[in-house]
Structure 1
């Protein structure tokens, strides 16, 4: 499954590896073929979407800025 109105490069299909739930926001770690993607979403959305470890999901990435620092 993919969403055709969004560029395919911005979609990563994967499975939820871990959910770190907070009172307002939660971190959702998604294991994808490209690597681990972490999303910070509201805890309410985690419950509304019934997200669970092992759920198959699509991570959509929208970045307006990427910072780089030299090591």
Structure 2
């Protein structure tokens, strides 16, 4: 994972490309963001159980891009 201002993005992201979902873990809980929107990006705060479920879903490789 690469860190930038507390945000981490997947090692599968290609170089400095800003086209990924990033995560920041803090005392208030996990936050998700879309890096391609730069500083105007929405930040979504979720609870720990939802984050664990999100990770399990991603790791199961059952996500498919929308066409």
Q: Give the alignment's TM-score, normalised by structure 1.
A: 0.36
Higher helix share: 2
User: Whose relative contact order is higher, 1 or 2, with alpha carbons under 8 Å and at least 6 apart?
Assistant: 1
Give the alignment's TM-score, normalised by structure 2. Answer: 0.38
The structure carrying a bigger strand percent of its residues is 1
